[in-house]
Amino acid sequence: MANHKSALKRVRSSAAKRLRNRYQAKTTRTYIKKLRETTDKNEAMDLYKKVSGMLDKLGKKNILHKNTVGNKKSKLAKYVNSLT
């Protein structure tokens, strides 16, 4: 266990950040699943814009690696474009 005040604070702040990051990542995954289940192109386009922004935020904050974000966005864009 940490002995210094700064280390104790670091433990608290790290735990709070971890929860926030997990919440954002989980929410994004839920939206991705919702997008993949969509068969309507207009609805998928709207969802894709929202999901794309969420992924960009996760990449910017280093919650997900930027290349992972790019891969996910690319695959989702391909899926949305394949809808009729």
Q: Collapse the DSSP code of 72 into the 3-class scheme (helix H, G, I; strand E, B; otherwise coil) and give the result.
A: helix
The token pair that represents 61 in the structure block = 């904050």
Residue 8's Cβ-side half-sphere holds a number of Cα atoms within 13 Å equal to: 3
Q: What is the pLDDT of residue 26?
A: 98
pLDDT in tens, 11-61: 999 999 999 999 999 999 999 999 999 999 999 999 999 999 999 999 999
pTM summary value: 0.86
Domains of the chain: 5-31+41-82 (1.20.58.110)
Neighbours of 9 (CB within 10 A): 11
Identity (one letter) of the amino acid at 62? Answer: N
pLDDT at residue 67 above 80?
yes
Please, are residues 73 and 64 in contact by the beta-carbon 8 Å criterion?
no
pLDDT band at 8 (very low <50, low <70, confident <90, very high): very high
